[in-house]
Structure 1
Amino acid sequence: MAKHRAVMITGVNTLSDKLKENVTMDLVKKVVEENTIEMKRKMKRNANFKGHYIKVKGGKLKKIEPTGETRSSIEEKISRNGLTGVVSPKTEYAAYLEYGTRFMSAQPFVKPSYDSQKRIFLDDMKKLVN
């Protein structure tokens, strides 16, 4: 006759708590990822520039048409193990478009996107907490 051995499992409560924590963190990471992607969409949609004028010889104004380079350079990056999302344009002159210069007016596309998505992100995080 075979002997039966008792198996004792310890730490079930700790394991259960850890699983609950991980599920919660997975949900947080999903919210971060979804909001980062949506902010990128908004920023690309808002990056609809009208161009600007420069003075050329003789004091005449020449219109510089937008190339679309800043819009196409907008990228998102998820870091810190999924807890941080960053969306940014990669052209060197993106700040001139956002804030303007003494020669051209501001054409904001980053801040309006951020302000809009920030509210949605906070609402999504509140839903996770409640």
Structure 2
Amino acid sequence: MLAKIVKIEGLDELQAGLKGRMNLSPVIDVVKKHGAQLSSRTQSNMQAAYTHGYSTGRTRRSVKPIFSDAGMTVSVGPTTDYFPYLEFGTRFMNAMPTLKPAFDVQSQMFINELKRLMQ
């Protein structure tokens, strides 16, 4: 049995050419839009949940979208060190989830919009 050798040349050039022709700006726009909406939704949840007399709004104000990877990644979350206690509770205090419910809603909307881009 003879083995046939197939040699493909130009793959690096092909990949570079395809990569250069990709237009990712619609994806970046979707990431930006949903990052901002997740931030806003989280802040709204916090305003509704944190109604105790000791609430100062510091955690809510600390929620801002942070973009990286040339706009392809967004991180949203509060920066206060005590936020995990608010979100998950302690043995002395009930959980007041605000980020996860916002993420659950927004992530589905994000995925659906990305799927529409691919059609």
TM-score range relative to shorter protein: 0.7 to 0.9
Structure 1 residue corresponding to 2:88, chosen from 89, 99, 113: 99
Tell me the residue number matched to 2:5. none
Aligned residue for 2:109? 120
TM-score normalized by the length of structure 2: 0.79
1:50 corresponding residue in structure 2:
51
Structure 2: 5+ residue stretches without partners: 1-15
Quickly say closer, same or farther: Cα 1:100–1:16, change in 2 above 3 A. closer
Does residue 69 in structure 1 map to residue 58 in structure 2? yes
Q: How does 1:17-28 map to 2 (within 5 A)?
A: 18-19=20-21, 21=22, 23=23, 25-28=24-27
Structure 1: which amino acid aligns with 2:64?
A: E
**Residue type of the alignment partner of 2:51:** K
1:50 offset after TM fit, Å?
Answer: 2.8
| Identity across matched positions, percent | 32
Provide the secondary structure at the position in 2 that maps to 1:77.
strand
List runs of 5+ in structure 1 lacking aligned partners: 1-13, 52-63
Which SS does the other structure have where 1:46 is aligned?
helix
Following TM superposition, the consecutive aligned residue runs of length 4 or more in structure 1 with deviations greater than 2 angstroms are 14-19
Q: TM-score, normalised by structure 1?
A: 0.73
Aligned length: 103
Please provide the CA RMSD for this pair. 1.9
Greater helix share, structure number: 2
Report the AA paired with residue 72 of structure 1.
Answer: R
Report the AA paired with residue 31 of structure 2: V
1:81 aligned residue: 70
